[in-house]
Structure 1
């Protein structure tokens, strides 16, 4: 028998959890409680089981991502989505000699939840020879209003009278907003924490990959353990493992790996509000990137850019805005040389913001203008995901500060001519206001 790897073993755990739930005759809703790092694994399980060629459960899994923007008709939207999914599958069913589902029954006076559940049962009955249960996984696109979501699920669970139609929701272990529902329907709503221990899984995968006696294998093992320690906030462990990882990388002239290890240590220290120590790691990362560049490694210059931007973030976190502004000014030409207009824009934006914090209005304005010029060279798609609206907002602000209301209004008109009337950002930009 072929030994299963760490991922396959966790898929087996999830399959066992599902089977446990499916065998409960009164159960209707599986409330799968997952940690953030477990979500991808659970979704991998659902994707696999949703593929009839790969799935091992005797059940049909359907993932529904209809938006929950109209709670009163969410069930109807799901019902319509079921019809679309079935229509799209007609060619495949016919090729296998199976008759298509004729569609859900009409039920006069039914609520949206009742219409949805009746459609599910109709679909399951039609495909009874193919599956024991119909499992509908509800993952609304764009998130949900917690209160409205809880109420919709409550109404739906109350009406869920078909034992072979099961609903599945993934709940973030950090929130547990569906606890009242589980308490209200202890038999119908089954709570199962995934408990996959993904940190251990990554370590198991690293060991299973072997080659731990090679520099690359040693570094991989240390790096995985560093990442797990960083996730848990164990900064001391990150530093200890990081020092070992840096030693392995440096001794073998694996400069890009040394940069990577330094970044993890720096990020952990920044998160612990120790920016000066983080800054030193980012400086060492830049030095390693320079060694990589000197060897002719193509990633060296890009790593140097990233290391300098990380130093800027450390200076800003330390509220040392003068050296941060100088660093961003000096880094913009590197971004330009790499033809990375997005990062060049960000360098000038942050240089401007740091000067604005110091009330150096003219210098802030000059840097903001450089950012604005770079931003206007971006293609439409890149511009939409860039920080150009924050540059525009800063320029309007600086116009007001330097020359008053009329200048600010003129700047707004210029911005509108480039970005349109609805240009203002909805939330503060990272690292700047």
Structure 2
């Protein structure tokens, strides 16, 4: 009997099959939340592996960032070619022809990309019905350009065996109304998978009865109530889970429950109550540390960052800044360089929102120093670029930034490499 996740995967597959059998459709837009997107990603991953495939279609995922509309087709073609080159030996090992090559490079990029997809499908037509291209850009620098680019793509006169699909976030949609601009070619669906209910069902159905299962079900119920923005239901579920955790002496799980309730209350807009939950989590984390729990130090860091997020949600900037600064020594104690950088970055940002530029500058420089002390590979995936952006913004407000700005830029370029500002994404600076 299929479990809750498997049934939802079948729902996703059924939506795809309906789109695939529509002879006019070319572009499928999945309007979904983050958990639903994970199910779509799972479908693509399973259909990419021959052992897990349940449709006659072949899926290819292209993740190139959308930076400039006029360059995107060329970037996608390069990614497609690179993917194929990496898979040649696997094709040969599977006794498949690995001789496919992209078409004439003298053609315009957009034409060449579409011809490449068409030729790829024809080359391997015996092994697929449709070639499904999942466009999942790791970054979209130009949302309006992305929408226009997809609209043009949907209108291209292309082999019906080539299909495209994308996801669009329900809470921050970029593609609203795109279907009406090309109703014959674009299909937009909301899978409505109710993933929070799936998690609850899994928690109830798996494992032997006992305290651990009861606790797991309680946490799943908190998450489900949070997704439905029902704080009273979240409180009821959290109370039951806490009773189990206290009876069993699971202080680390007390922390988890308080934080889950805090997140649910933030989502419901109950900022004061959310902050209370995170303060309860901080108390429990301290008890874990006092009891020599191995995760105690990291729990103290996580709970402090959680309280800061609640205060940020309530625009309580000075208080949030103090909380984030207090997390820094905890992160040092936990030997967590990433959270040390992040606590200082958020402290700087909150001070800046409170127009306390001197304190913002002080914390920003400490964040930069924390980033510089990281190993290069860890620094490359950190939030240090937003620290740099903030510092440049602050120094730029001085009457004569001059030499100080030049020195700061040189230091930032040394830490992150020239062109680091190109890695900045709108909306990512405070989370």
Query: TM-score, normalising length from structure 1?
Result: 0.80
Q: Offset at 1:96?
A: 3.5
Kindly state the Cα deviation for residue 47 of structure 1 after the two structures are TM-superposed.
1.1
Q: CA deviation at 1:271?
A: 4.6
RMSD: 4.0
- Mark the CA change 1:392 to 1:9 in structure 2 (over 3 Å): closer, same or farther: closer
Residues of 2 paired with 1:142 and 1:82: CA distance? 17
Selected match of 1:191 from 188, 192, 206? 188
1:113–1:159 contact (8 Å) kept in structure 2: no
Task: Report the CA distance between 1:156 and its aligned residue.
Answer: 3.1
1:171 to 1:413, Cα distance in 2 relative to 1, 3 A: closer
The structure-2 alpha-carbon separation of the partners of 1:344 and 1:57, relative to structure 1 and needing over 3 Å to count, comes to closer
Given that residues 9 and 43 in structure 2 are in contact (C-alpha distance below 8 angstroms), is that contact kept between their aligned partners in structure 1? yes
Cα shift at 1:72: 3.3
1:144 Cα offset (Å): 5.6
Aligned with 2:2 (options 1, 4, 11): 4
Structure 1 partner of 2:258: 262
How many residues align structurally? Answer: 423
Output the CA distance in 2 between the equivalents of 1:382 and 1:317. 28
The answer on whether the counterparts of 1:67 and 1:142 sit within 8 Å (CA) in structure 2 is: yes
Say which one has the larger Rg.
1
Answer with 142-151 or 346-355: which moved more: 346-355
Q: Is the 8 A contact 2:297 2:333 kept in 1?
A: no
Aligned residue in 2 for 1:171: 168
* Counterparts in 2 of 1:76 and 1:369: CA distance versus 1, 3 Å: closer
The answer on 1:152 being equivalent to 2:149 is yes
Which residue of structure 2 aligns with residue 231 of structure 1?
A: 227
Distance 1:350 1:266 in 2: 19
**Secondary structure of the corresponding residue to residue 129 of structure 1:** helix
Deviation at 1:42, TM superposition (A): 0.1
- Whether 1:209 and 2:206 are equivalent positions in the alignment is yes
Aligned partners of 1:356 and 1:158: how far apart in 2? Answer: 46
1:38 alignment partner in structure 2: 36
Aligned-residue offset at 1:153: 3.1
- Could you tell me which residue of structure 2 aligns to residue 69 of structure 1? 67
Q: Aligned-pair distance for 1:14?
A: 1.9
Measured in 2, the distance between the counterparts of 1:313 and 1:225 equals 22
Q: Please tell me whether the aligned partners of residues 38 and 198 of structure 1 are also in contact (alpha carbons under 8 angstroms).
A: yes
Deviates more, 1:27-36 or 1:259-268: 27-36
Residues 196-253 of structure 1: CA distance to partner in whole angstroms, max 9, x if unpaired? 2212211121122133x31111111111111122123222222222122211211211
Where does the alignment leave 5 or more consecutive residues of structure 1 unmatched? Answer: none
Q: Is residue 131 of structure 1 aligned with residue 131 of structure 2? A: no
Residues 1:304 and 2:290 aligned together = no
Q: Are the aligned partners of 1:235 and 1:269 in contact in 2 as well (CA < 8 Å)? A: yes
1:99 correspondence with 2:97:
yes
In structure 2, relative to structure 1, the CA distance for the partners of 1:335 and 1:95 (3 Å cut) is closer
Q: Does the 8 Å contact 1:101/1:126 carry over to 2? A: no
| Partner secondary structure for residue 97 of structure 1 | coil
Equivalent of residue 333 in structure 2, options 315, 330, 337: 337
For 1:277, the equivalent position in structure 2 comes to 273
Task: Note if contact 1:266-1:278 (Cα within 8 Å) is conserved in structure 2.
Answer: yes
2-side partners of 1:353 and 1:60: how far apart? 46
Query: What does 1:17-56 align with in structure 2 at a 5 Å threshold?
Result: 17-56=15-54
Q: In 1, Cα distance between the equivalents of 2:7 and 2:253?
A: 29
2:67 partner SS: coil
Q: Which residue is equivalent to 2:412?
A: 419
Structure 2 length normalisation: TM-score?
0.80
Q: 1:290 aligns with which of 286, 295, 301?
A: 286
State the match for 2:56 in structure 1: 58
